[in-house]
Amino acid sequence: MTEQKSTQASHSAVVPMTIVAILFFILGFATWLNGSLMPYLQQILRLTPFQASLILFSFYIAVTFTGIPSAIIVKKVGYKNGMALGMGTMMLAGLLFIPAAKTQMFAMFLFAQLVMGTGQTLLQTAVNPYVVRIGPEESAAVRVSIMGILNKGAGIFAPMVFTALIVSNFTGLVGQELTQENINDMANSLVLPYLGMALFMGCLALAVKFSPLPELVDTEDHESGKGDVKAVLAHPSLVLGVVAIFLYVAVEVIAGDTIGAYALSLGIGNYSVMTSYTMACMVIGYILGIILIPRVISQQTALSSSAVLGFVLVLALTMVDRESTVIASAILVPFGAGAIPDTVMLLALCGFANAVVWPAVWPLALSGLGRLTSVGSGLLVMGIAGGAFGPVLYSLASGSSGAAEGQQQGYLVMLPCYLYILFYALKGHKMACWKKSETSSAVSGNS
């Protein structure tokens, strides 16, 4: 009888998990599309590196401002309606790209990005609990891993679609001075794809709204007062973990979303697919992490190894010759791919180094929090704002000219981030209290 109930439960979870899987793919698609959109708009609008970084800033900063309101909305309307509202908001963002493209107004593009980030935050707030609670608790980790692979896998697919639908007609213009006619053609090419995206989002929102997706019922009171926030801030391992997540998302977005702009500065015609390289490396790292952790290596060892590897890759990236293609010739050319500069390959390989950081930091940061776990999780989520500030800092370090040399050296800003992640892996997650004197007095009092 127990086996029969288990089989029925697993069958009943198939449709909800399929819907959730589609939503996670959409989230990844919308997120990593920025890696192709950013250099494309940089061409059309003649943006400086700093201005181009605002495209990413306006998308990721939405997490900071709309995270708590999204949680309130989901609590009021329910998880399923929250998903539908999130998709509806993303549909609105897709429609906003049409007047932005027609007017070629940078501010309109930024507003569309902000709305897209808002919709994604609302959708994430509603869909993430399903991954844990829609099936058996003992298999939750497997479901989280599958959704992570889908999310990053969408990052491989999105730049290819963007390139096929939009960029492929204009690759011959890379490195050339654009005429107004060229700019108009490139801007207008955004209209139909984003209209199609908006219609798809709208249809999916309706499908989710009227789907057989069961509503989750919260049996616990998740409201936390100022006392809980103050209590959780007394845990250094959590607070330092929030900083680690902030810096990790910063380097993840720099590696994934600026690689196209850097490739454009090198005159690479297929610059818009470069994000796919970084995401492919992340997916490989993600799969290896699932296989090896904790069977072969611990979370702490995986985290420290990732930090060291990221530091070495970035250091090499800033030092090697931009004309060299040794790495691609050894890894890609034998399989029929083109030879791209080593600096671009090293940046893409940072995706492999970054892959296990997120899943490793979370359990280390939340360890021992007990009833404060939900509050700690909320603070960790806010660390996603690092994706807004990382590219801005990189653009300032790259200089205003947008030259390839300046952009190459701009990646030095990633080095302190990896050093901090290494500190957290080796020491930060072990810290039990802030003041050393408290530990010392406690020891002397017991002696």
Cα 243 from chain centroid (whole Å): 16
CATH superfamily of 8-211: MFS general substrate transporter like domains (1.20.1250.20)
Percent of the chain with pLDDT strictly greater than 90: 51
Q: What is the pLDDT of residue 68?
A: 79
Poorest-pLDDT segment among 132-136, 221-225, 240-244, 416-420:
221-225
pLDDT for 270: 87
What pLDDT is attached to residue 66?
87
In this prediction, residue 7 carries a pLDDT of 47
| Nearest Cα residue to 247 out of 387, 52, 61 | 387
- Average pLDDT in the chain: 86
Q: Please report, for the chain, the start and end positions of each structural domain, with discontinuous segments joined by +.
A: 8-211, 224-430
pLDDT digit string (tens) for 96-122?
999 999 999 999 999 999 999 999 989
What confidence category does residue 394 fall into, taking pLDDT thresholds of 50, 70 and 90? very high
Which residues have C-beta within 8 Å of that of residue 58, sequence separation ≥ 6? Answer: 110, 111, 113, 114, 117, 388
Which of the four pLDDT bands, split at 50, 70 and 90, describes residue 269?
confident
pLDDT of residue 29: 92
Rounded Cα distance, 338 and 275, in Å: 15
Give the pLDDT of residue 346: 96
Which tens digits make up the pLDDT trace of 357-371? 988 898 888 888 877
Kindly report, residue by residue over 189-203, the tens digit of the pLDDT: 999 999 999 999 999
- Superfamily designation of domain 224-430: MFS general substrate transporter like domains (1.20.1250.20)
The yes-or-no answer to whether 8-211 and 224-430 have a common fold is yes
What is the reported pLDDT for 217? 67
Q: State pLDDT tens for residues 14-67.
A: 778 888 888 989 989 999 999 999 999 999 999 998 999 999 999 999 877 887
DSSP class per residue in 204-244:
HHHHHHTS-PPPP---S-----HHHHHHHHT-HHHHHHHHH
Mean pLDDT value across residues 178-184: 91
DSSP per-residue string spanning 153-195: HHHHHHHHHHHHHTGGGSGGGTTSPPPHHHHHHHHHTTHHHHH
Report the pLDDT value the prediction gives residue 219, as an integer from 0 to 100: 53
User: Can you give the pLDDT at residue 336?
Assistant: 66
Given a cut of 70, is residue 142 above it in pLDDT? Answer: no
Residue for token pair 């399923």: 80
Whole-number pLDDT of residue 186: 94
Residue 293 half-sphere exposure toward CB, CA atoms < 13 A = 23
| Segment 404-408 mean pLDDT | 93
Q: Which of 172-186, 219-233, 309-323 has the highest mean pLDDT?
A: 309-323
CA distance 149 to 106: 33
pLDDT score for 360: 86
Q: How much is the pLDDT for 111?
A: 97
Q: What does the pLDDT look like over 337-357, one tens digit per residue? A: 677 899 999 999 999 999 989
For the stretch 273-296, pLDDT in tens is 999 999 999 999 989 888 888 888
Spatial neighbors of 79 by CB under 8 A, at least 6 apart, are 126, 127, 129, 130, 215, 216
Chain centroid to CA 108: how far?
A: 23
Decide: 195 and 95 in contact? Cβ < 8 Å.
yes
Q: For the chain, how long is the longest CA-to-CA vector?
A: 82
- Single-letter amino acid code for the residue at 98: I
